[in-house]
Every structure is written in structure tokens, then in C-alpha cells.
């Protein structure tokens, strides 16, 4: 009698486990589409945030569609890839920075002495976003990424028509500690980027995120951002990634072309 009870107990436990695992797997599979859609929406929301076009209760996809033009650029020579050359991977709608960086054809290794952001590889091409109003480009929103203390941080920096002034800055993905490095999401800190000069008149990158607080009367105040307190390593990561992506291995050649030929 007692043997039979043990067997039954095991069988019931096994049955419950089986049913639960089937339920969990089914939930994971059925929710994966929703998760992917939410991730995409969050990315679009951050593009709008960087472009200062986001407010609560707006239809993100609609605002994005009405205001944003995408382009794929060749980071090495700064040219814009013509639409006829788009393919399965070179497609603004499907562009995946991580996959492109790892791709043998579309990505490349960064020499260790130039890898200030610790990302090891980067794409040769990048998708960029232009805010267009009445047929004129008002802002350019550029993806940026690099290592913090715990994670790779992915975000956007927006530049104004003068291609010099920062008009927005935001991260859409990172794993830094809430309250420390996670303060990269602090709206007040993100707003402090707006109006800062990213480049000098010659096009050299001058923006920097410093340790501590910017001396507002100092000669570099217009290009400096306060560091995050208690998060020197994340702060250094943000400084490195912004300077890297605005520099010669990032958008330098593309921005130089725009300065020469005009923003289109
Ligand atoms: C649990 C834990 C989480 C931390 N998270 C971060 C972080 O997200 N970003 C960061 O820069 N430092 C983080 N630190 C602190 C760093 O180890 C280091 O002390 C800090 O970057 C120094 O910054 P400070 O010079 O501004 O104090 C963390 C420390 C601990 C113990």
C-alpha cells in the first residue's frame, strides 16, 4: 500500500512538472512576438526621445513614420548607401547593430589600441535617423554604443542642423546599476546634454563627460557634461563611447561629408 502511494506521489509530481513546463514553454513562445514588438517600440520611443518628439500617449509608430527618414551610411568613407544596394542585412528596418558588428562581411575588428569603448568589433555600415520638417533636415540621430562597468550601453545622440550642437541624448539598453550607473536614464542628466557643443569649428570632437561637476564659468563648460556621482566607470564609458562614435572610426567621415556638401 505504502509503495503504491510513493509511486503515485512521484507520478503526480512528474505530471505536474510536465504540465507546468509545457505551460511555461507555451507562454514563452507565444509571448516572444509581443516581447520583440515591445523592444522595437522602445527603440523607436528612444529615437523620438533623442529627437525631442516623444510625449506620453502619442502613437510612437505614427510620429516616427511622419517625422523620421532613415538612411544607411558607410562609416568608412561617410557615403550614403543608395536604396538600390539595400539587401537582407543592409535594410534600415531590419538593421541589427549587434549582428552587423559580428558579420564577417559587414563588421570588422577594432584594433586594440583604438578600441576606447571596449566593443572589440563594429559594423562597417550604420543606420541613421533624420528628423525632417517641411522637407528640411532639422536633426540627425546617430546610434552610439560602448561598454559601461557591467554592460554594453546602446543609445542615440542627436545633432542639430549646425552638425555641432547636441539636441538630444538617450540610452535604450544597458545593464548598469540602478541609482549608480543606471542614472544614465535620469531625465535631468539627459537634458543636460542639450545645447552642448560636440565639435569645435574645425570639426574636432570636443564634447566630454567629466568626473564631477562642470565649472560653468570655465572655458570648456559649453562642451562638458557632469559625471554621474558614484559611477565613475559608467561615466568614463559614456565619455568614451560618445567620443568614439563622433570621431574618425564612427560618424567622423559622414559628418565631414555633410559639412562639406550640406545636410540633406
Ligand atoms: C554593487 C555595486 C554596483 C556598482 N555599480 C556601478 C555602476 O553601475 N557604475 C559605476 O560606475 N560604478 C558602479 N559601482 C561602483 C564602482 O565599483 C566604483 O566604485 C565607482 O565607479 C567609483 O565611482 P566614484 O569615483 O564616483 O565613487 C558599483 C559598486 C557596487 C559595489
Q: How far apart are CA 96 and CA 143, in angstroms?
A: 11
Q: How far apart are CA 235 and CA 225, in angstroms?
A: 10
| Helix%, strand%, coil% for the chain, nearest 5 | 40, 25, 35
Contact status, residue 117 vs residue 241, Cβ threshold 8 Å: yes
Q: How far apart are CA 126 and CA 81, in angstroms?
A: 10
Q: How far apart are CA 51 and CA 70, in angstroms?
A: 13
Query: At a CB cut-off of 8 Å and minimum separation 6, what does 243 contact?
Result: 116, 205, 207, 208
CA end-to-end span of the chain:
84
pLDDT at 41 (0 to 100): 87
Q: What percent of the chain has pLDDT over 90?
A: 75
Q: Across the chain, which distance is largest between two alpha carbons, in Å?
A: 90
Q: What percent of the chain has pLDDT over 70?
A: 98
DSSP 8-state assignment for residue 201: T
* Domain boundaries of the chain, sorted by first residue: 67-261
CA 43 centroid distance within chain: 8
pLDDT at 25 (0 to 100): 86
Q: How far apart are CA 187 and CA 46, in angstroms?
A: 12
The answer to whether residue 1 scores a pLDDT higher than 80 is no
Phi, psi of 48 (to 5 degrees): -65, -40
Q: How far apart are CA 28 and CA 91, in angstroms?
A: 28
The pick from 146, 181, 186, 229 for probing ligand 1's pocket by mutation, whose C-beta has the most ligand atoms within 8 angstroms, reads: 181
Query: At a CB cut-off of 8 Å and minimum separation 6, what does 50 contact?
Result: 141, 155, 156, 157, 158, 168, 169, 170
**234 alpha carbon to ligand 1 midpoint, in Å?**
8
pLDDT at 2 (0 to 100): 54
The residue among 215, 196, 209 whose CA lies nearest residue 236 is 209
Of ligand 1's atoms, which has the minimum distance to the CA of residue 237? 11
What would the mean pLDDT of 182-206 be, rounded to a whole number? 96
The pick from 185, 230, 234, 238 for probing ligand 1's pocket by mutation, whose C-beta has the most ligand atoms within 8 angstroms, reads: 230
pLDDT digits (tens, 9 = 90+) for 114-172: 999 999 999 999 999 999 998 899 999 999 999 999 999 999 999 999 999 999 999 99
User: Where does ligand 1 bind, in terms of residues with CB under 6 Å?
Assistant: 149-150, 176-177, 180-181, 229-234
**34 alpha carbon to ligand 1 midpoint, in Å?**
34
The answer to whether residue 3 scores a pLDDT higher than 70 is no
**233 alpha carbon to ligand 1 midpoint, in Å?**
7
pLDDT at 212 (0 to 100): 95
**Nearest residue by C-alpha to atom 30 in ligand 1:** 177
Amino acid at each position: 500500500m505504502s509503495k503504491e502511494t510513493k509511486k503515485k506521489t512521484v507520478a503526480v509530481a512528474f505530471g505536474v512538472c510536465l504540465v507546468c513546463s509545457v505551460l511555461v514553454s507555451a507562454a514563452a513562445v507565444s509571448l516572444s512576438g509581443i516581447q520583440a514588438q515591445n523592444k522595437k517600440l522602445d527603440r523607436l520611443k528612444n529615437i523620438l526621445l533623442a529627437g525631442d518628439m516623444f510625449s506620453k500617449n502619442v502613437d510612437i509608430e505614427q510620429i516616427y513614420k511622419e517625422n523620421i527618414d532613415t538612411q544607411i551610411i558607410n562609416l568608412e568613407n561617410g557615403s550614403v548607401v543608395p536604396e538600390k544596394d539595400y539587401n537582407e542585412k543592409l535594410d534600415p528596418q531590419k538593421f541589427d547593430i549587434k549582428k552587423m558588428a559580428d558579420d564577417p562581411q559587414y563588421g570588422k575588428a577594432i584594433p586594440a589600441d583604438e578600441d576606447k569603448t571596449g566593443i572589440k568589433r563594429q559594423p562597417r555600415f550604420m543606420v541613421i535617423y533624420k528628423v525632417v520638417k517641411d522637407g528640411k533636415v532639422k536633426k540627425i540621430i546617430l546610434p552610439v554604443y560602448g561598454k559601461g562597468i557591467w554592460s554594453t550601453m546602446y543609445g542615440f545622440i542627436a545633432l542639430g542642423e549646425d552638425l555641432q550642437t547636441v539636441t538630444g541624448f538617450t540610452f535604450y539598453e544597458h545593464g548598469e546599476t540602478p541609482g549608480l550607473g543606471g542614472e544614465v536614464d535620469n531625465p535631468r542628466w539627459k537634458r543636460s546634454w542639450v545645447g552642448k557643443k560636440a565639435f569645435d569649428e574645425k570639426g574636432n570632437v570636443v564634447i566630454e563627460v567629466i568626473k564631477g561637476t562642470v565649472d560653468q564659468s570655465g572655458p570648456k563648460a559649453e562642451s562638458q557634461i557632469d559625471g554621474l556621482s558614484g559611477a565613475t566607470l559608467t561615466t568614463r564609458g559614456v565619455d568614451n563611447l560618445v567620443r568614439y562614435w563622433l570621431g574618425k572610426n564612427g560618424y567622423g567621415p559622414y559628418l565631414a561629408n555633410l559639412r562639406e556638401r550640406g545636410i540633406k
